[in-house]
Amino acid sequence: MTNLDVEWAKDWMRRASAILTEHRMELIDLDRAIGDGDHGENMSRGFAVVVTRLDEAPPEDVAGVFKVVAQTLMAKVGGASGPLYGTAFMRAAKSAEGELDSAWVVTLCEAALDGIVTRGKATTGEKTMVDAWTPAIEAARAAAEAGKSPAETLRAAADAAADGAEKTVPMKATKGRASYLGERSIGHKDPGSTSTSYLLATAADAAEAAA
């Protein structure tokens, strides 16, 4: 596969649902440490509904898949992460036109971050999912400019997001519920940046499987 297509997008969501279910307890524990403990449940339940809806009425294109994701997460996932990821996927849907090549992977990550920032007003260093998406964009851009395939570009983004999530450990949270803890948020990994790294990892997995 040269470009990313609707089968990739559907496979991504199936894999996302599986990985978020697999890591449900981990995300719950991370959120329990600095939040209210609902992130694992929010994400696994939300993506399970996404998969059901995609099976019931399969969209025709990548934008259609992302629209289903956005609408489902907005409607079914409470807390901060539902609207944040919902807006990210709504922007991602708008970005999915023309050639869905390596350069578009960069556009996709930029669109997602743009949605998250519009909604949540966070910048880097505030111990949020922004700290995973921002290095993901930089890594994707470097990969795309080096002529890497869409799958390789997604893998670069995913690895950078995982690294970004690890780097939230020493940060002090200044956005969301974790900010109520102040200094006591230091020493814990941010749950939202962790789920972002899983989402991007499964995007890469799906692209590699289709290659």
Ligand X SMILES: Nc1ncnc2c1ncn2[C@@H]1O[C@H](COP(=O)(O)OP(=O)(O)OP(=O)(O)O)[C@@H](O)[C@H]1O
CA 164 remoteness from chain centre: 13
Using the rule CB under 6 A, give the single segment among 1-9, 104-112, 134-142, 170-178 that binds ligand X: 170-178
Q: CB 103: neighbour CB atoms within 10 A?
A: 16
Residue nearest to Mg ion (CB): 35
Taking the least distance from each CB to ligand X, the nearer of 39 and 67 is 39
3-state secondary structure at position 157: helix
**What is the amino acid identity at position 134?**
T
Least separation in angstroms between CB 35 and Mg ion:
4
CA 53 remoteness from chain centre: 19
3-state secondary structure at position 165: helix
Taking the least distance from each CB to ligand X, the nearer of 40 and 150 is 40
In sequence order, the 6+-apart residues with CB closer than 8 A to the CB of 47 are 13, 16, 17, 20, 21
Site track 5-44 with ligand X (rule: CB under 6 A), x = hit: --------------------------x---xx-xx--x--
Which two three-digit tokens encode residue 135?
């290095």
Taking the least distance from each CB to ligand X, the nearer of 58 and 182 is 182
Rg of the chain in Å (alpha carbons):
16
Taking the least distance from each CB to ligand X, the nearer of 103 and 125 is 125
Which two three-digit tokens encode residue 210?
């289709």
In the list 70, 106, 191, 199, the residue contacting ligand X (rule: CB under 6 A) is: 191
d(CA 104, CA 37): 34
Taking the least distance from each CB to ligand X, the nearer of 98 and 180 is 180
Check residue 129 for interaction with ligand X (CB under 6 A). Answer: yes
Least separation in angstroms between CB 72 and ligand X:
14
Check residue 36 for interaction with Mg ion (CB under 5 A). Answer: yes
Question: Largest alpha-carbon pair distance within the chain?
Answer: 48
Least separation in angstroms between CB 181 and Mg ion:
12
Q: Binding to Mg ion (CB under 5 A): which residues in 63-102? A: none
Nearest residue to 200 via CA among 116, 137, 119, 120: 137
Residues that bind ligand X (CB under 6 A): 31, 35-36, 38-39, 42, 79-81, 84, 116, 120-122, 128-130, 175-178, 190-193
Residues that bind Mg ion (CB under 5 A): 31, 35-36, 38-39
